[in-house]
Structure 1
Amino acid sequence: MKTTSLPMTFTFLDQNLKINSTLEIMSNKNDSYLRAIPVGHVGMSCFTMIFGTISNLTALGILAKSRVRFRRQSKAPFLFLTVALLLADLGGHVILGAFVLYLYTIGTEPTPNFCKIFGTSMVFFGLCPLLLGCAMAVERYIAITKPFFHMSMITVAHVKMALLFLSSVALVLAVLPLFSVGTYTTQIPKTWCFLNLQGEGSADRILALTFSGLGLTALTLSLFCNILSGLALLHARTKYNDSTKNPTTRCGRRASSASSSSMNCSLDVEMMAQLAAITVVSCVCWGPFLIHIPMVQLHGASGNLKPGLILLFLRMASWNQILDPWVYILLRRAVLLSVCCRGQTPASTVSECSSYRDYRRRDSNLQ
């Protein structure tokens, strides 16, 4: 009996040693994973998530108070797109921030299924603000250069259709890896997932280049439309200043329309200032990340690109969703009037704005 129990005892001890060694290896991996993530990164993620959420909610509250003013002046399409942009920024902060904090909490790398969900959210909430910003720039360009066409053709229903189309484009691109068209992989430092930028397959390359191409196209079109809109406003302003030199053009104003014209003028300046700031912020924040993607495809894994560089560019892109709401918080009509019209009396400001608006109407009628 003793001779038969000894092998069983050794076998049991051997199995316990194997289990303990396996658990020790897994523990060492988890410890090394946790040590690879500095504590400051967790604090920064919490800060950006909370600060971005508060900023977007504040901007939405400001827009809710000014919705009557926008609707009264037929600016509802721009207001609708603005709310959609802020909601996309808010969703990106809450959902993506929760995913990152969850990975920090469990202290392990994301599972393949979780990585797919994380990557899908990254692509969708990354593309939506860029496409919506482009749609806002196009809408303002049409409103400034073709005001009568905009008033008759660009309605909230049309804007909703455009919003549905742009969201569908971002969603289709995001869910393609879920149907085995491309893959999502864990990115450095194992706390976020994105498209496989260094994949050998053609599907991975096409998806990465498509994401980058759509983002860069949206930024370029936004910049182009904003420049043309600004030049159109500057040209109309110059023609107005030239026309005011003739005393006969100063007659025939109606006092009853002065306040309404002043509101229209300030709204145009307010929306163009906000749109220009959004474009600049998007180019600075998203430009490096979008340009880095084709560079990775060009150089490949054997290139001289630093592995952690894309993490830096991602953090810059995440600040776009924080700065967007502050554009609407700071560049409001009250702030713009206090800065631009400093030293002028309210009566002179109203008279100047109403005269400029009346001139633009007469100039549009002649065209």
Structure 2
Amino acid sequence: MLAVQHCNNSALHVDEGFSNQTQQVLGVAPVRCRENLNTTTNPTAAGLSMTLGIVSNIIALIILAKAYARLRKRSKATFLLFASSLVATDLAGHVIPGALVLRLYISGTAGGLCNQSDATCHFLGGSMVFFGLCPLFLGCVMAAERCMGVTRPLLHARMVCTAHTKIVLVMIWLLALSVALLPFFHLGTYIYQFPGTWCFINVLDNTSITDVIFVLLFSGLGLAALAVALVCNTISGVTLVIARLRKKKCHRRSAKSHDIEMVAQLVGIMVTSCICWSPLLIFGLMSVIRSYSGSMGDDLETYRTLMVMGVRLATWNQILDPWVYILLRRAVLKKIYRITTGRSDLKGSTFRRWEISSFQNSMKSVINRN
């Protein structure tokens, strides 16, 4: 998805007057078409956002691919497969809807008819729902998998494998696709949204009960995924802290370094998703409920602005997700530690102990398999 740009309200098409006159003759309330579209809108900001997202996700994919090839037989392989799928989905979420939006900008056909939709709008709206739900579902499943790995390592070793991970990934994509396709079965509708440069679920104008159900499903699934991720990451973090404290008191071996690293990355992904997606999910619910109940009144412009702000924030989730993984790796944290402390020798440091612990666990795993 791309960042949505504001457009001027002054650019009206010549056919608007004829259309409104025709509607008045027929006794239908006039509908202002393309009321927010400025044909001179500069697509530079959208192009820069798309480029930044693509570059960020490609860098993260390269790093993840190298790490997965190196750690394929270790417990971190499942996490890396999920993370790679998350980054690949974010990349597709920039390329597919982004290319369509840029094409509409360049051709000067962005906006369509207000309160109406066409094939382009249906595809763009479905893409936004699909590529919006997938990262939330993936973050939720990754948090649940790591929670099991930290709290129930034996159960995790028996149940979680690469084959099961791939099945879960397919199920996640199919679930998100099923939700995105509901308007094609007349449950909800996709329409052009203010300022006419993006398509999404109808939450503001002439909403029906099916629109309310669709928004409740979309926002409910998204918020539920964030809540589950929050609970699982909290449990994982508390468990690791308790293990660390017990180690200090009883002189036991501390938690594995890659567990700490993965939970830190998951917390970063969860915080990013909450900040970026919660506004759009909540604003969508508020808007459709007020619109359907007829209590929108003079707040229509306010809710239009809130929806634009929400989709802009949601767009940044796909840009920030890869950087969470890139920056919260142990290699990067070690360099930051060296720079901030001015120490080139990591003997006795937490990073050094993490590395030794991780190496010992890897050697034991190899010996046990042989």
| TM class, shorter-length | 0.7 to 0.9
Asked if structure 2 preserves the Cα contact closer than 8 Å seen for 1:240 and 1:356, the reply is no
Which of 136, 147, 169 lines up with 2:142 in the alignment? 136
SS at match of 1:185: strand
Q: Deviations over 1:175-219 (max 9, x none)?
A: 111122221111011111111113432111100111000000011
CA distance in 2 between partners of 1:152 and 1:135 (Å): 17
Larger Rg: 1
* Closer/same/farther in 2, CA of residues 303 and 155 from structure 1, 3 Å limit: farther
Q: Contact between 1:52 and 1:90, CA under 8 Å: does it hold in 2?
A: yes
State whether residues 184 and 194 of structure 1, in contact with CA within 8 Å, keep that contact through their aligned partners in structure 2. Answer: yes
Is residue 256–residue 354 contact of structure 2 (8 Å, CA) maintained in 1? yes
Aligned with 1:214 (options 213, 221, 229)? 221
Q: Which has the higher helix share?
A: 1
> Matches of 1:33 and 1:103 in 2, distance apart?
15
8 Å Cα contact 1:55-1:326 kept in structure 2: yes
CA distance in 2, matches of 1:101, 1:237: 50
Normalised to the residue count of structure 2, the TM-score between the two structures is 0.79
**Residue type matched to 2:86 in 1?**
L
Query: Deviations along 1:83-105, whole A, 9 cap, x unmatched?
Result: 11001100000011112112212
Q: In structure 2, what is the Cα distance between the partners aligned to 1:218 and 1:121?
A: 19
CA deviation after TM superposition for structure 1 residue 25, in Å: 2.0
Distance in 2 between residues matched to 1:145 and 1:67, nearest whole Å: 23
What is the aligned partner in structure 1 of residue 166 from structure 2?
A: 160
- How much does 1:273 deviate? 1.4
* 182 and 354 in structure 1: CA distance in 2 versus 1, 3 angstrom threshold: closer
Q: Does 1:114 align with 2:120?
A: yes
- Residue type matched to 2:177 in 1? L
Q: In structure 1, which of residues 329, 334, 356 is the aligned counterpart of residue 331 of structure 2?
A: 334
User: Residue 94 of structure 1 aligns to a residue in which SS?
Assistant: helix
User: Matched residues in 1 for 2:158 and 2:282: separation?
Assistant: 39
User: Are residue 238 (structure 1) and residue 238 (structure 2) matched?
Assistant: no
Note if contact 1:240-1:359 (Cα within 8 Å) is conserved in structure 2.
no
Which aligned pairs between 1:256-267 and structure 2 lie closer than 5 A?
265-267=256-258
CA–CA distance in structure 2, aligned partners of residues 124 and 117 of structure 1: 10
Q: Contact 2:121/2:190 (CA < 8 Å) preserved in 1?
A: yes
Deviation at 1:168, TM superposition (A): 1.3
TM-score (norm 1): 0.80
Secondary structure of 1:99's counterpart equals: helix
Specify which of 295, 299, 314 is matched with residue 304 of structure 1. 299
CA distance in 1, matches of 2:361, 2:54: 40
Q: Is the 8 A contact 1:115 1:186 kept in 2?
A: yes
Match of 1:287 among 258, 265, 278: 278
Moved more, 206-215 or 193-202: 193-202
CA positional deviation for 1:33: 5.6
Taking a change above 3 Å as real, the CA distance of residues 228 and 144 of structure 1, as seen in their structure-2 partners, is same
Residues 38-71 of structure 1 show CA distances to partners (whole Å, capped at 9, x for unaligned) of 43xx221111100100000000001112113432
For 1:38-187, list aligned pairs within 5 A. Answer: 38-39=41-42, 42-108=43-109, 109-110=111-112, 112-187=118-193
- 2:262 is paired with a residue whose SS is helix
* RMSD after superposition: 2.8
- Kindly indicate whether residue 318 of structure 2 is the aligned counterpart of residue 317 of structure 1: no
User: What residue number does 2:4 align with?
Assistant: none
Q: Which of the numbers 163, 178, 201 marks the counterpart of 2:208?
A: 201
CA distance in 1, matches of 2:131, 2:356: 43
5+ residue gaps, structure 2: 1-12, 18-31, 363-370
The alignment-based identity, stated in percent, is: 43
1:35 counterpart SS class = coil
SS where residue 304 of structure 1 aligns? helix
The change in CA–CA distance for 1:224 and 1:121 in structure 2 (over 3 A counts) is: same
Which one is further off, 71-80 or 187-196? 71-80
State the 1:317 CA deviation.
0.5
Kindly provide the amino acid, as one letter, of the partner of residue 132 in structure 2: G
Give me the whole-angstrom Cα distance separating, in 2, the residues matched to 1:238 and 1:140.
20
Change (3 A) 1:358 1:65: closer
Q: 1:98 to 1:351 in 2, by over 3 A?
A: closer
Displacement of 1:352: 3.2
Unpaired runs of at least 5, structure 1: 1-23, 251-260, 362-367
Q: Give the AA of the match of 1:304.
A: D
CA contact (8 A) 1:90 1:321 kept: yes
Q: Which moved more, 1:347-356 or 1:305-314?
A: 347-356
The match for 2:365 is: none
Question: 1:128 corresponds to which letter in structure 2?
Answer: C
Q: 1:203–1:356: structure 2 CA closer, same or farther, 3 Å change rule?
A: same
| Secondary structure, aligned partner of 2:46 | helix
Cα displacement (A) at 1:113: 1.3
Which stretch shifts more, 78-87 or 111-120? 111-120
Match of 2:20 in 1: none
